[in-house]
Amino acid sequence: MPDATRTELDHDFVAPLADPGRERFWRDYLTLGFCIFAAESAAASLYLFLTPAGPNRSVLTTMATVVAIVALLCIAPVRWVATQRWRTGFSIAWSVAASMVLATCAGLDGGLESPLLYLSVLPVIYTALAMQPWQVGVVGASTAGGILGVGLSDHDRAIPQESLFMFAAFVAGVVTLAIVAAVHRSRLQSGEEALMQELADRSVTDGLTGCRNHRAFHERLAEEVARAIRHQRPLALILCDVDHFKRFNDQFGHATGDQTLAAIGARLRACARSTDVLARIGGDEFAILMPETTTEAATAVSARIVALAPAGPGPSVEATLSIGVAGLDPAEPTAKRLLRDADRAMFSAKALGRGQAVTAVSDVRRPRPPAQPTLLGTEA
């Protein structure tokens, strides 16, 4: 089954943490935010220094200094924060806090007349660079709320009404543009990630049957064998081979043969679990790798597969399967031995008449019997 994909940068609650590219983005993104906030705090300190006659200068200077120091100190743990699942929530919380601090400073600096109020839109713009539209809306609402609070608390309002109107239009425009930009960025990113996921799926999927391909199967086989050894857990393998497939193709044509392989893949998917690895590992050979599964349980699955056979695109065109079942041998727990045991069991099923399943035990772990000659030549 294809894995669920992520469609947004901030879907960290479903995202695996071991993603260097994503972690690098968050490290740079958070660092940018802290650097800008520290720089704006330094600019605010310069503004306060150049306007010593304004209200609350000592308090505001202290706040600007503390905020700049905190922002610079927060740069140090950014690399660690970028690896955490709560990095999105942290960024949103920081942006909301920044908008509140800026609104508070503007209120202490004279209310609606303070030029510091214009800095309060920066968290909205910053959030729009990476967050979902609703998250941009949250930061935008906090910014608008902070500005509204400044306006309501400013009892000595000297700013002209037309200037106040233009400032409100400016804030509304910035918030609207930020949300719209986030919507379009999210859609574009979603489409790109869907395309990348499709390409990734195609690289490990057999186009005819929809099963995993040879390369993907052997990669998972090595991983599952190592995991079974590490955790001392069972691992089983089922190999399936279409009987007389060369004769089948010669009789019905390659197009019908392809349809039959696709039908067999669908039948096998109906018997496999979501945790199993179903793959087409050869022209007419399939494998089902079954983690956390004993040989006995895999034998029961192979019996269900045989019960579903014959398979084909129609009742008049059907093919049978020879099936071999093996479990990871504790005496020699290797992928090579597991494949060999299942392969020998499968050829024992062919030697016993085809269209059946054989489980690898000591009496079937013998050299592969020679293929039987037919009128159409030697074939499986």
The gap between the terminal CA atoms of the chain, to the nearest Å, is 30
- Closest-CA residue to 268 (of 253, 291, 289): 289
Q: Which tokens go with 231? A: 């955790």
* H-run or E-run covering 284: none
Q: Which residues contact 251 (CB under 8 A, 6 or more apart)?
A: none
Give me the pLDDT at residue 208, please.
Answer: 85
Any idea which residue has 């743990």 for tokens? 77
Q: Which tokens go with 83? A: 């690896």
- Closest-CA residue to 114 (of 177, 75, 57, 71): 57
Each residue's pLDDT, cut to its tens digit, for the chain (380 residues) gives: 334 333 334 444 333 444 788 899 999 999 999 999 999 999 999 999 999 999 999 999 999 999 999 999 999 999 999 999 999 999 999 999 999 999 999 999 988 888 998 898 999 999 999 899 999 999 999 999 998 888 888 766 666 666 677 878 888 898 899 899 888 888 888 888 788 877 777 777 888 888 899 889 999 999 999 999 999 999 999 999 988 888 878 888 888 888 888 888 888 988 888 899 999 998 889 999 999 999 999 999 999 988 875 555 555 557 788 999 999 998 899 999 999 999 999 999 999 988 899 998 744 444 444 444 433 334 45
Cα(115)–Cα(37) distance, integer angstroms: 16
Q: Which residues contact 296 (CB under 8 A, 6 or more apart)?
A: none
Adjacent-strand bridge partners of 242: 321
Count of beta carbons in the 10 Å neighbourhood of residue 196:
11
Q: Could you tell me where the DSSP H helices lie in the chain?
A: 20-50, 57-74, 78-81, 87-108, 122-128, 133-153, 161-203, 214-231, 245-252, 254-271, 295-308, 335-351
Catalytic, out of 241, 276, 284, 341: 284
Residues 247-294 have pLDDT tens digits of 878 888 888 888 888 888 888 988 888 899 999 998 889 999 999 999
Cα(92)–Cα(326) distance, integer angstroms: 53
Question: Which amino acid belongs to residue 316?
Answer: S
Give me the pLDDT at residue 35, please.
Answer: 95
Give me the pLDDT at residue 310, please.
Answer: 59
Give me the pLDDT at residue 12, please.
Answer: 41
3-state secondary structure 191-238: HHHHHHHHHHHHHCECCCCCCECHHHHHHHHHHHHHHHHHHCCCEEEE
Cα(268)–Cα(319) distance, integer angstroms: 14
Active site annotation includes 276? no
Helix axes 254-271, 245-252, angle to 10 degrees: 130
- Closest-CA residue to 134 (of 173, 169, 183): 183
Cα(314)–Cα(96) distance, integer angstroms: 63
- 214-378 topology per CATH: Alpha-Beta Plaits (3.30.70)
| Rounded-to-10 torsion of CA 253, 254, 260, 262 | -160
Give me the pLDDT at residue 315, please.
Answer: 54
- Sequence ranges of the domains in the chain: 20-202, 214-378
For the whole model, what pTM was predicted?
0.57
